[in-house]
Structure 1
Amino acid sequence: MADGARSDHPAVQKQLDRLSLLSPGRDVLGLERIRAVMERVGNPHLSLPPVFHVAGTNGKGSTCAFLRAAIEAEGLKAHVYSSPHLVRFNERIRLAGALIEDEYLAALLAHVLDASEDINPSFFEATTAAAMLAFAETSADACILEVGLGGRLDATNIVPAPAATGMAALGIDHEAFLLSPEGGTPADPMVRIAWEKAGIAKSDVPLLTQKYRDDMAKVVAEHAAATHAKYLPRGENWDAAVYDDQLHYRDERGKLTLPLPALPGPHQADNAALAIAMLRHQHEIEVSEAAFRAAMGWAQWPARLQKLSSGPLRDILPRDTETWLDGGHNVNAGEALAAHFDSCADGSIHLVLGMLANKDPAAIVGPLKPKIASITVVPVEGHEAHEMADFVGSEVPVSDAPNAMEALKVIATQKPETVMIAGSLYLAGTVLEANRQLPD
């Protein structure tokens, strides 16, 4: 089923079954179909509250979480569209602070699919149309859109005039989509990625970006100039740094000294800073310093360096074992994990790894290598994944298990200091469900 979409609500599941018959998006990237679908359902994307549109390879979801936290800390209401979901499809659509209700979701999906059957939209396009309908029909002060894939040809890029756009950290991912041969595109893979993400730039709209290497920044600047966007890269118009255990942010409006984010990982300070920059360089809504301060502790983003709480799965391990969950699967994610676990002793982390077959395990294993005590390979339900044989020659003990729960039962006998479950958001979803720790 496309993206593992499922629900325990019969009416929703009926529509998800219809969605599962649609293309997941391969070979159909473009805005032609989403424009046609939107026309059929009344162009809801033209009736949204102020939109904050975020692209990136790593960190865009966390940036959206900080945007939402700051807006809500100001006492305002925000819609959020994100993907993929971890456990329940409803996680993709948050209406004025709450996950969409089943009956409303079922009705929206049915309406979109009935109206666009002959257009043959992709899974993501139909989902995006349903989200935009919900956002247009429900009152809120802001709308946060996370790009699903790339930027230039992503269905969320249908919105003509966001309040602000942002680009988080960039890296190589989704190569089959974003690096497919196309005339007039940059040859260097990382420059091509930057070019694709910069496609969310809009005329007279601020485009806030993280720091990139010079050739990547150049292509983003060129695209912004061509579209007449207001290009505001980090390090020039705004910047941030961490020292004295605080986040220090500055731009032309002044300086902010804020607590560090509660979200684990040093990279979260960068994501928070991007969200702050996006909010301080637009004029649709006003967010105070007090709201930014509160957002540092309020922001939540499941399965991104998430420490598991007590539950049926976590409690298999000794009480003092730190148990972490992360859905990262590329080099940037591996480096973020390595930075987070830098203070751990060598050979202290037991890694439970479930990674899709089209991803490179070295992206996660490589950066963590000195810290790893063992690797247990588990399948990713419903997807082709790497097997134990793919780790032949590893310098640490490698075993396999039928699922994460069985893996933890074996690891528990070794009285581990730290356990890290990683490699796929699909795996992360099954872990959260097994631990009865559903995202809300």
Structure 2
Amino acid sequence: MTTLAADREIESLMALHPKGFDLSLDRISRLLERLGNPQDHLPPVIHIAGTNGKGSCAAFSRALLEAAGHLVHVHTSPHLVNWHERYRLAAEGGGRLVDDDVFAETIARVAKANEGQTITVFEILTAVTFLLFSEHPAEAAVIEVGLGGRFDATNVIDRPAVSVIMPVSLDHEAYLGDRVELIAAEKAGIIKRGCPVVIGAQESDTALQVLIETAERLDCPTFVYGQDFLAFEENGRMVYQDEDGLMDLPPPRLPGRHQFANAAAAIAAVKAAGFEISHRAAEKAMATVAWPGRMQKLPQGRLTDLAPKGADIWLDGGHNPGAGIVVAEALAEQEEKNPRPLFLIAGMINTKDQAGYFRAFKGLVRHVYTVPVSLSEAGVPNDELAVRATEAGLSAEPVSSVANALMLLRDSWDGQPPRILIGGSLYLAGAVLAENGTPPT
């Protein structure tokens, strides 16, 4: 797929408008009005917020709906390699990433409608989502929040079929506040009066209380993980339970125990949105779900060919302490099933709690290679990141690139084929997939 036309349009936007976030709904509301308010002409919307697990919930929701035979649009952010990944348009046999010509033409129309007014690039690209999704037929739309909830550009949807709040923890404190209850209140901003709400597994009782109180105040039918639905492992299977009974399902294709709870939230959300999910459809969804860059087993490619022979290589873009914990738990499960020495290749950006991320791997990782994050101006220098890893109790050294880290490990390690996690940043995950020659499709 050529990306030149859309990339040129986005580059011209970057030159004119801010790249970051400016949390307000005024600008995008004004722009959408000029476009005929396409957000009011969407199929039933599953709107997903949260600190961690949003993307997994979106992936499970898409898999469930498609397995049940529905046509589904999906919007996620950020992308890993190409902007097109943010827009998956409904198609028979499964959604497809937006065609480059269609994408470029839609960006140009939205930019023209904006008439040079002050706006962020994210807001323009969110308006592109609504225009694309309103102009192409589908039976459902899964839309992931970009940042926060209350003032996120996606939060112009007046009547979502369901609002989903995935686990809430500290992240983006500069925008959302430095206490978990403040962040929960921002995420709860996507809850709309009388519309169903699904609350995923929460680490914090404080966050859970804020979410439940918001939903109750707005008279929303509310479904809470651990109270109204849940999932658990039994005999190597995943059992999903809600008021309708039990579903005995294969374990999700996405690795890690946390994916049981993410899958459960998606099942509850799709049902709350008014869709019937048969046992057969749920089985198929668990077996086919895909979410690149999140505990993804890295396929063969230009980078993996540099690793020690027989190495088991995983890629994960999780970048905060909460993500570090669930990834470490997933790797600990791998260790129980198939023991191997574990090494971490990490790159991070300076807005994240680096030591908090690394602490999750204490006692699990033998050694950390820290690398630069080339795709972000906010990347932490690799020598500074090695200090953060050392402060968290890990053995660490800076290396100039992921490729060099893999070759260094190949040349210095002569034991059992290792397990390698490349992680700490979605920017790093995207760069690795591009360099490996295996971008998302």
Give the TM-score normalised by the residue count of structure 2. 0.92
The runs of 5 or more residues in structure 1 that have no matched partner are: 1-6, 180-187
Report if the CA contact (8 A) 1:37-1:121 is conserved: no
Question: 1:397 offset after TM fit, Å?
Answer: 4.2
Report if the CA contact (8 A) 1:164-1:282 is conserved: yes
Query: Is structure 2 residue 61 aligned with structure 1 residue 67?
Result: yes
The runs of 5 or more residues in structure 2 that have no matched partner are: none
Question: Which of these residues, 85, 97, 100, is aligned with residue 99 of structure 1?
Answer: 97
In structure 2, the partner of 1:117 is 115
Query: Is structure 2 residue 383 aligned with structure 1 residue 388?
Result: yes
CA distance in 1, matches of 2:38, 2:201: 34
In structure 1, the partner of 2:409 is 411
Query: Is structure 2 residue 89 aligned with structure 1 residue 89?
Result: no
Query: Is structure 2 residue 284 aligned with structure 1 residue 294?
Result: yes
Map of 1:197-276 to 2, 5 A cutoff? 197-212=187-202, 213-276=204-267
CA distance in 1, matches of 2:152, 2:218: 17
CA distance in 2, matches of 1:10, 1:361: 35
Report if the CA contact (8 A) 1:347-1:371 is conserved: no
Report if the CA contact (8 A) 2:319-2:425 is conserved: yes
CA distance in 2, matches of 1:259, 1:133: 37
Report if the CA contact (8 A) 1:46-1:159 is conserved: yes
Question: 1:340 offset after TM fit, Å?
Answer: 1.2
CA distance in 2, matches of 1:206, 1:375: 44
- Root-mean-square deviation over aligned CA pairs: 1.8
CA distance in 1, matches of 2:231, 2:420: 32
CA distance in 1, matches of 2:87, 2:71: 14
CA distance in 2, matches of 1:57, 1:145: 15
* Aligned residue-pair number: 424
CA distance in 2, matches of 1:300, 1:348: 26
Report if the CA contact (8 A) 1:57-1:168 is conserved: yes
In structure 2, the partner of 1:430 is 431
Structure 2 SS opposite 1:256: strand
Question: 1:390 offset after TM fit, Å?
Answer: 4.2
CA distance in 1, matches of 2:394, 2:356: 16
Structure 2 SS opposite 1:196: helix
Structure 1 SS opposite 2:367: strand
Structure 2 SS opposite 1:202: coil
Report if the CA contact (8 A) 1:77-1:140 is conserved: yes
The residue type equivalent to 1:375 in the other structure is: V
In structure 2, the partner of 1:421 is 422
The residue type equivalent to 1:421 in the other structure is: I
In structure 2, the partner of 1:335 is 325
Structure 2 SS opposite 1:148: coil
Report if the CA contact (8 A) 2:48-2:164 is conserved: yes
CA distance in 1, matches of 2:55, 2:158: 21
Give the TM-score normalised by the residue count of structure 1. 0.92
CA distance in 1, matches of 2:271, 2:3: 41
CA distance in 2, matches of 1:118, 1:109: 13
Structure 1 SS opposite 2:128: helix
CA distance in 1, matches of 2:114, 2:277: 39
Question: Which of these residues, 190, 202, 224, is aligned with residue 180 of structure 2?
Answer: 190
The residue type equivalent to 1:116 in the other structure is: N
CA distance in 2, matches of 1:347, 1:374: 13
Report if the CA contact (8 A) 2:44-2:273 is conserved: no
In structure 2, the partner of 1:160 is 158
Report if the CA contact (8 A) 1:266-1:340 is conserved: yes
1:214-244 deviation per Cα after TM superposition (whole angstroms, max 9, x unaligned):
3222211221133232222122222222222
CA distance in 1, matches of 2:60, 2:25: 28
CA distance in 1, matches of 2:253, 2:2: 32
In structure 2, the partner of 1:280 is 271
Question: 1:56 offset after TM fit, Å?
Answer: 0.8
Give the stretch that moved more between structures: 311-320 or 428-437. 311-320
Q: Percent of aligned pairs with the same residue? A: 39
CA distance in 1, matches of 2:168, 2:235: 27
Report if the CA contact (8 A) 1:37-1:119 is conserved: no
